[in-house]
Structure 1
């Protein structure tokens, strides 16, 4: 028998560690060559680690959620080779594995960046020491003196020795209370005595009937995508002085035009509000280049981008992801609708490529049918702004009629939020940008004018 240490391969891209997000084996399992061992997550992607040898697992590097440094042992396997003899496929397997992992992590895209900045390594958890057996979750022990519910049948039998009205007796039976245990100042038990027992008498063997309906506390370890989201959001709020501006927009005419477009769309995808809003953003950005920018605060450089690579915050089963619509300024509403649908589906099914989840210059976030009156979205660092449309509501508004008098009409109104990095974008700039958007959205024919 020989002891083989499978070490986390050097993935490149400056990655120094990876997080264990799932184990596919446990101590004592027999594994074959190329069998999956664990899922490891870095800033780039999640990859399955495969065993380069056959044998029995004798040690694992920590638990789900722990960080493992590149070059550190991930799994120790006892192989059938003689003591001191390395497996014949060791060197070749390591080289092949490192290449496969590098390809999955996006090493072929050296210019690709993550969806958002991540904290410095010092802020992360240190990897746990090796464990040679599975860690069992503790089973909570029953608390001393915990009261037990009295069966209804037993309560009815015992209650026959206490004086009470039929209504009180029926209530006690429903609650599982032994009437002989209820203290009373008179000769019979009354509803007030039951109420007092419910408040103060649990130490006498009574347990509230609905107590067992409460769900037990459930500790959930923050790992994988949820940990990345938490780290990115915390880093954004720590580093960026946010401010949010909200304005109300009358989208009555826009919604009417959208309905007409959908009625005549033919085989093209159905339009939501989002493609029309993106067209308005792309037409407004040239006058406000500070909005479509990224701030490298370490280098002290703000890059105002000419192309608009629009991030689209998308909720997925794995957590929030931000697929990117490349060159949004060059697409019409139908092309945008098609790309939005394709990217959203790829993100939700886990098929989005690395390059489709990085490099955004501005992000838009919408709660869709959930709506919301107003939002204060968190900036997708290192960008300097994020735009959040809110739900559309119908309300009466005052307007001028053709004779100059006042009239009340039905209108569809939507609040539009924008959060900005105050180090780069001034309040006046943000408000002026939204006013520019408002012009296009309230006069939608301008969206199709050159």
Structure 2
């Protein structure tokens, strides 16, 4: 037997370390060559790490959220091959200590259920992990039996029939206990009782079986480790606000004609993607930028250099389950509105599936961020450093407006822009938005040469 140390490879230009965001293996697991072992996040992308050998995992570099330097040991694997002594692990010294794995959320729930239904009887303990040193398993150490993955069988009632097992999270059980609700009386469409089921029970119950609360009950505190994309967002936003003197300018824009043209274009789109406001806004930005090159720029404050870019590589802030990410539409100025719509759809889907490539997440020169129908009256977006400006359209509302002596219905949208005051003056930002407004209020100009 031999020990193979898998060191974190160079996964990107200029990357010195990466963060562990997911472990797909644990100590004691047998893995095969090319099996996925971890997901590592850099400033640019999440990269999947695969094992180059088969064997048994005997050491891991750290926990989720830890940083690992390029070239440092990530995983130590016991194999049947023969590796040189130079590949000795750079981790903690090997010991014979047997460690017990922490309970997962599902195991905690099963254990709580078991103890509730069997008063005075402690739930079975989890199996100890294979030792970090010699790899003994539970059978070798006499460890306690593991908590079963499936729910435990319910106890027999006095009549000999099995009672109904009610599945619910600890938070739901705690709330039901506070309200005096018997969970067995609560109807649910799924396999477990949820907060919505408790709400429905409270609305439609005849008042029996629970006591009405006299005040709102505090929910248990929840400590969440800031890791992965959320950590990157926190670090980038803090650096942006700390280093950049922001100012925000807001203007109201009449998009009545633009919305009418969008409806006409969608009516004749055929198999092309449906147009939203965003591709039309991006097309207008690309038409406006050449006269205002200070907007489409990046500022290297350490070198003291502002680079005004000729091409518009437009960042598109996209909300995902993991947090906000900003895929980049390359050379947006060379795409028509249909091509922009298709690229927006493709990048958004890739972002939400965590399948963006590194070159699709960096190198932006200007960013647009939109909350869609949640856009509010005005926003003060934070600049995506080292860019110098970010544009935020807000929601469209219908209001009466004066046109001469007449009152007409109009669709209005506020547009916000935040700029780096070290590079962009207030006059420049206001002039840019006024020029952009002309394209949005007279949309036929978008298709003029």
- Specify the alignment match of 1:431 in structure 2: 430
The alpha-carbon deviation at position 87 of structure 1 amounts to 6.8
In structure 2, C-alpha distance between the alignment counterparts of 1:394 and 1:15, rounded to whole Å: 49
- Which residue number in structure 1 is paired with residue 56 of structure 2? 56
- Asked whether the equivalents of residues 229 and 320 of structure 1 are also in contact (C-alpha less than 8 Å), the reply is yes
> Is the 8 Å Cα contact of residues 63 and 128 (structure 1) preserved in structure 2?
no
Give the structure 1 partner of residue 140 of structure 2: none
Q: Which of the residues 303, 313, 317 maps onto 2:317?
A: 313
Report 1 or 2 for greater relative contact order, CA contacts < 8 Å, sequence distance ≥ 6.
1
Structure 2 alignment gaps of length 5 or more: 113-173, 183-205
Residues matched between the structures, number: 355
Counterparts of residues 43-442 of structure 1 (less than 5 Å): 43-80=43-80, 86=83, 133=99, 136=102, 174-175=210-211, 215-400=219-404, 406-442=405-441
- Structure number with bigger Rg: 1
Deviates more, 1:418-427 or 1:406-415: 406-415
2:39 counterpart of 1:36: no
For the residues of structure 2 that align with 1:60 and 1:274, how far apart are their CA atoms? 45
TM-score normalised per structure 1 = 0.70
Matched, 1:9 2:9: yes
User: The residue matched to 1:175 in structure 2 has which SS?
Assistant: coil
**Alignment match, 2:202:** none
**2:44, 2:361 within 8 Å by CA — same for their partners in 1?**
no
**Distance in 1 separating the partners of 2:13 and 2:410:** 53
Q: 1:387-437 CA distances to partner (integer Å, 9 max, x unpaired)?
A: 01000001111220xxxxx22211111000000000000111111111111
> For the residues of structure 1 that align with 2:270 and 2:207, how far apart are their CA atoms?
65
The 1:241–1:129 alpha-carbon spacing in structure 2 relative to 1, beyond 3 Å, is farther
- Following TM superposition, by how much is the alpha carbon of 1:379 offset from its aligned partner in structure 2, in angstroms? 0.7
Whole-angstrom CA distance in 1 between matches of 2:433 and 2:55: 63
1:448 lines up with 2:447 in the alignment: yes
Alignment partner of 1:25 is 2:22:
no
Is the Cα contact below 8 Å between 1:311 and 1:361 reproduced in 2?
Answer: yes
How far apart, CA to CA, are the structure 2 residues paired with 1:80 and 1:129? 22
Q: What CA RMSD, in Å, does the superposition of the two structures yield over aligned residues?
A: 3.5
SS, match of residue 248 in structure 2 = strand
Give structure 1 stretches of 5+ with no counterpart.
Answer: 92-126, 154-169, 177-207, 401-405
Q: CA deviation at 1:64?
A: 0.5
Distance 1:134 1:209, change over 3 A: farther
| Change in CA separation of 1:60 and 1:416 when aligned onto 2, cut-off 3 Å | same
Q: Check whether the contact 1:251–1:442 (CA below 8 A) recurs between aligned residues.
A: yes
- Residue 266 to residue 48, structure 1, CA distance change in 2 (3 Å): closer
Residues 78 and 381 of structure 1: CA distance in aligned 2, closer, same or farther (over 3 Å): same
Q: Distance in 1 between matches of 2:294 and 2:377?
A: 27
Q: Kindly tell me: are residues 174 and 62 of structure 1, through their superposed partners in 2, closer, same or farther at Cα, counting changes over 3 Å?
A: closer
Write out per-residue CA displacement over residues 214-239 of structure 1, whole angstroms, 9 at most, x where no aligned residue: 64333222222222122111111111
